[in-house]
Amino acid sequence: MKIGIIGGSGLYEIDGLEFIEEIKLDNRFGSPSDSYKVFDYKDCKFYFLNRHGKNHKILPHNVNYRANIYGFYELGVKHIFSFTAVGGINKLLKPADIVIPDNAIDMTYSRNSTFYDELEEKYHIDFTNPFCTNLRNILIKSCMAQNLRFFDVGTYICTNGPRLETAAEIKFYKQIDADIVGMTLFPEAPLARELEICYANMSIVTNYAAGISKTKLTVDEVIDTMKKNNENIKKVIQKIPDFINIVKNDCECKNALKGTRIDK
């Protein structure tokens, strides 16, 4: 079983797994953020990609999401778990909490958000439920097995960045029922759906969002909180093989393009 792992701010490596090789590749959509590091664990091969590249050199709005996801596709990966750092909007959330979102809102702009604007085929995928139900269940079971504090519902709102949000923006996002805010879920998630790859997200609340926090927001607190949670993330990743073969294979991700093509 091939499993993709996308690491975000503060998650640049995964340890506890047997390192096999490093694969550097380019594809028709350009260069991925970094090489794909391959690990072996419990009869699974994990393909880890650092979303922001070495030394966090790539800001969220400049990530080549198409090259990243297409790289997984070329490597034969059919399941991707993404990990992201987010700000907490919902008053129930506090720093270090885990959220496994079940829906999302896209507020990004000027990002290459589809594979099919350069191809002859044209598709309008259904994105009612942006995350694979099977992979979400695996994350939920993995968190439960480790007795971690987590929330299994929540709406992730994705902003363009790289600046952090204003207090007024966060107030508005709260009014439209967003629970967490980040900068990297889109177009990563819909691109995976376009290639019929299962995709789910686990977000770590690293700080209170603007206007909720009583202090100035800093990147340092984001990185520090993620680093402190790396042990929990590692535990979740190590539990994935225990559940990936027992969850029902009834998601619609593998048929995402069925009935969505616009013919000439």
Binding residues for substrate: 183, 207-209
Backbone phi, then psi, for 105, in 5-degree steps?
A: -130, 135
Cis peptide, bond prior to residue 101, ω within 30 of zero: no
Binding-site residues for phosphate sit at: 9, 51-52, 84-85, 184
Q: Do 183 and 164 touch, CB atoms closer than 8 A?
A: no
H runs (alpha helix) in 36-186: 65-74, 133-145, 167-175
* Other CB atoms within 10 A of residue 259 CB: 10
Binding-site residues sit at: 9, 51-52, 84-85, 183-184, 207-209
Which residue, chain included where needed, has tokens 């590692």?
A: 234
**Using CA atoms, how far apart are residues 121 and 127, in angstroms rounded to an integer?**
18
Q: Do 235 and 83 touch, CB atoms closer than 8 A?
A: no
List 50's β-bridge partners, or say none. 7
Number of residues that this document lists for the chain: 264
The secondary structure of 183-216 as a DSSP string is SSSTTHHHHHHHTT-EEEEEEEEEEEPTTTSSS-
List 18's β-bridge partners, or say none. 40
Task: Identify the CA nearest to 125 among candidates 257, 254, 252.
Answer: 257
Q: Which two tokens stand for residue 246?
A: 């027992």
